[in-house]
Structures are given as C-alpha cells and as structure tokens.
C-alpha cells in the first residue's frame, strides 16, 4: 500500500454516542502518530456525513457525496450508525458494505486485561474473517403467505421435486446464495493476513455437513485456494506448520462455538461465511469482555473501512460516559493497515496500561468493581486523554 506522509482520512462520526467516541479516537490516533513520527507524518481528517447528522443537514441518511468520497479513499473510519425502527429502509451499514464491496470483515479478538467471563482470557487471540457480501444477508426473502412465496413454492414443488412437507403453504423462504468467486477472494485475504502475521492454525468454519450447496461448497473452495500457486508450500492441510507456514483445518460451526469457550487457544484465524461470522465474532468478543473492547475492519480491493463493533448506545448518548475503546482500537488497526505499526503499537500499549491501572469509562470500572477490584471511572474524553 502506498501511503503518503499526510494522508487524507475520511471519518463518519456516527449516531448516538458517535459524536463522543469519534473525537476521543481522533485525539488518541493523532497523539500516537505525533509521538511515533515526531511531526514527519500527520493525518488530515475529513468528516463525511451519514446517519442522523446527514439527515438533519441534507435530508438523506447516506448522501451520495459520502459514498463518492469513500470510493476515492484508501482507508476511512466510522462510528456506529443507527437504523431507525419502523421507517423502513435498508441499514446504512449494509448500504456501505455492499455499495463499496467491502467483502471481508475482520475482527481481531485479543485480551488487554479487562474483566472477562472466562478463566485465563490471555488464551484468546483469534482473528475472525467474516465474508461480507454473500449469504442470507443478501435479503432475498419471501414472506409467509405472500403471493410471490406461493409462486416460488409451486416452482420448487412442481418443477424441482421438493416435498410439500418441506414447504408447507404458510412457510416463509430465505435464499442463501454463496458463490465461488466471492468465497475465494475472501479466503485469499484471510490467508494473506495469517501468513503476514505469523499465525499458525486457520480454521475454515461452516455447517457444510447440512448445507452442502453453500457452506459445504465454501469449505471446499477454501481448500482449493490453499492449493493456488500463491499459497503452495505456505498453507498446509495436514502435519505441523513450520515457520512461515499455516495449517488449514475444517471445523463444523457448533464444534467451533464450543471450542472457542473451552479451548480458545486452539485457533488463530477463523475463516467463515456471513451469518456464522456474525455469531462467531460476537461470541469471541464476549470472551474478552464484550464488543466494546474489540475493533473491526471491512476490507475490499484497494480500500478499507474501520469501525466500532457496538451500536449507537442511544441510552447513554450525550452523557459523556461512552467507552471509546472499540473505535480507538479500530483506529489502531487502521494505522497498522497503513503500515504505521509503531503508532498502532503505542495505542495498544496505552490501552493495556490504562486497564492495568484500573482506569476506564464507567462500564470498564463497573466490570472491575463486580470482581471486587477497585477502579477509577472517567469520562470518555478524560479516558482518551
């Protein structure tokens, strides 16, 4: 990636707690860049409108200009965007991911010392690669008793030999498309990440034993990618991985969910589909205290969008107590993606130190207090400082 010393980075503040956590993230990222490079590098931040703020100013929740600027950027970062309930319309996150073709979502889950529900949470260090452009999220749905649903049923029963037992008159139908090219480009991204970051065990996860045409095909395509010239000798499918190699294994989803809780150290990278990725990344995040502590990135070809993993938290918006860590760690992940690893490391070290010192926003402090450990609660901006 060719990155200028003064890159322009667009950001979307986000709804709810967005206007509180975005300035906190920018403050920390700017400080880390300044400390790491002593003024020879600096980010020019450009705000893009989306969500509530955009609606207020332009009447649209996702203005065209926002998408146009994002298309020109190497990277961008965003806070959470709310989907108004009952107004109809697609989620802004889905619009962003699909119109920009951010086809891989990466959630690296590791423990920084915060309260966790499992013993020895230092065992958790796993990057979940969730395919972002396929699967039931394509929203091809036929609602129960709808006229179109009856047409689809009739076709499947009369032309395709599906039994009426499987498709009773009152059923709804969701289509689950999964394609070879979308799967393979996602798997390649995940394998490159695994090799670049010296990971050892990569699990391809799905319920291929039940959904052979989709999750089963995904798992087989992943193993085909392992045989491509780029990965030959580097991705092995049996034996012990040597330096510079990763071992790729197949794991059924339910088995993986159990393993993550009981033996999280067993896997370094998980490659999976959209829906399984949703479940798995939330479970993995819960192991280290919840999504509030976990960053995430959406990667396409040539550009990436980093974002917090939690929602808008409207219930605490405006109180100045939101936890800025997920967005700030996403900022660190963005710096790493740009190759500015020294600045990213300063952020990871600072977060670790703050947690070691038992200071944080009220949610962090309360987590420690529940464990009988005294901790100091700070406002969002004081914590960032």
Decide if residue 153 touches ligand NAD (CB under 6 A).
no
d(CA 45, CA 11): 7
Token reading at 132: 């972002």
d(CA 211, CA 176): 10
Decide if residue 360 touches ligand NAD (CB under 6 A).
no
Select the residue interacting with ligand NAD from 131, 134, 307, 336 (CB under 6 A): 307
Calculate the CA dihedral of residues 369, 372, 375, 381 and round it to 10 degrees: -20
Which position's Cβ is nearest ligand NAD?
311
**Residue 107 marked as a ligand binder:** yes
Give catalytic status of residue 254 as yes or no.
yes
Select the residue interacting with ligand NAD from 310, 344, 367, 383 (CB under 6 A): 310
Residues 23-62 binding ligand NAD (CB under 6 A) are none
Q: Which of 110, 278, 303, 358 is catalytic?
A: 278
Decide if residue 322 touches ligand NAD (CB under 6 A).
yes
- Do residues 269 and 126 touch, judged by C-beta distance below 8 A? yes
| Residues that contact ligand NAD, how many (by CB under 6 A) | 17
Decide if residue 312 touches ligand NAD (CB under 6 A).
yes
Q: How many DSSP H helices and E strands does the chain contain?
A: 13, 15
- Residue (of 338, 301, 327, 317) closest to 12 by Cα position: 327
Give catalytic status of residue 146 as yes or no.
no
CB of 271 to ligand NAD, least distance (A): 21
Q: Which of 103, 137, 267, 337 is catalytic?
A: 137
- Do residues 272 and 300 touch, judged by C-beta distance below 8 A? no
**Residue 135 marked as a ligand binder:** no
Helices 274-287 + 253-262 axis angle, to 10: 10
**Residue 130 marked as a ligand binder:** yes
From residue 70 to residue 89, the character string flagging contacts with ligand NAD as x (rule: CB under 6 A) and all else as - is ----------xxxx------
Count Cβ atoms within 10 A of the Cβ of residue 249 and give its class: 0-12 exposed, 13-18 middle, 19 or more buried: middle
Decide if residue 363 touches ligand NAD (CB under 6 A).
yes
CB of 285 to ligand NAD, least distance (A): 11
Measured from the CB atom, the residue of 20 and 268 that comes closer to ligand NAD is 20
Select the residue interacting with ligand NAD from 11, 24, 29, 93 (CB under 6 A): 93
Count Cβ atoms within 10 A of the Cβ of residue 273 and give its class: 0-12 exposed, 13-18 middle, 19 or more buried: buried
**Residue 370 marked as a ligand binder:** yes
Binding stretches for ligand NAD (CB under 6 A): 17, 80-83, 93, 292, 307, 310-313, 315-316, 322-323, 363
């Amino acid at each position: 990636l060719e990155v200028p010393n003064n890159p322009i980075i667009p950001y979307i503040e986000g709804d709810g707690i967005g206007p509180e956590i975005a300035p906190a993230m920018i403050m920390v990222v700017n400080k880390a860049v300044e400390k790491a490079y002593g003024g020879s590098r600096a980010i020019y931040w450009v705000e893009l409108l989306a969500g509530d703020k955009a609606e207020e100013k332009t009447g649209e929740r996702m203005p065209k200009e926002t998408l146009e600027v994002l298309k020109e950027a190497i990277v961008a970062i965003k806070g959470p965007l709310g989907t108004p309930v009952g107004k109809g319309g697609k989620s802004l996150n889905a619009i962003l991911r699909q119109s920009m073709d951010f086809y891989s979502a990466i959630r690296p889950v590791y423990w920084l010392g915060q309260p966790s529900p499992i013993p020895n949470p230092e065992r958790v260090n796993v990057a979940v690669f969730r395919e972002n452009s396929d699967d039931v999220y394509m929203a091809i749905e036929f609602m129960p008793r709808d006229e179109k649903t009856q047409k689809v049923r009739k076709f499947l029963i009369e032309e395709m030999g599906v039994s009426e037992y499987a498709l009773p008159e009152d059923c709804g139908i969701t289509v689950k498309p999964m394609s070879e090219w979308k799967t393979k480009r996602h798997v390649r991204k995940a394998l490159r990440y695994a090799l670049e970051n010296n990971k050892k065990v990569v699990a391809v996860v799905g319920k291929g034993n039940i959904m052979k045409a989709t999750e089963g095909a995904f798992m087989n395509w992943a193993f085909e990618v392992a045989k491509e010239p780029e990965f030959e000798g580097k991705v092995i499918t049996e034996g012990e991985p040597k330096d510079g190699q990763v071992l790729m294994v197949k794991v059924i989803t339910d088995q993986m969910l159990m393993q993550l809780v009981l033996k999280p150290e067993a896997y370094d990278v998980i490659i999976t589909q959209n829906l399984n990725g949703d479940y798995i990344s939330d479970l993995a995040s819960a192991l280290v205290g919840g999504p509030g502590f976990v960053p995430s990135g959406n990667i396409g070809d040539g550009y990436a969008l980093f974002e917090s993993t939690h929602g808008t938290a409207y219930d605490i918006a405006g109180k100045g107590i939101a936890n800025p860590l997920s967005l700030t760690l996403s900022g660190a992940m963005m710096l790493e993606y740009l190759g500015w690893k020294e600045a990213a490391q300063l952020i990871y070290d600072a977060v670790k130190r703050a947690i070691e010192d038992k200071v944080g926003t009220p949610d962090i402090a309360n987590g420690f207090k529940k464990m009988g450990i005294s901790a100091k609660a700070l406002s969002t901006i004081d914590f960032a400082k």
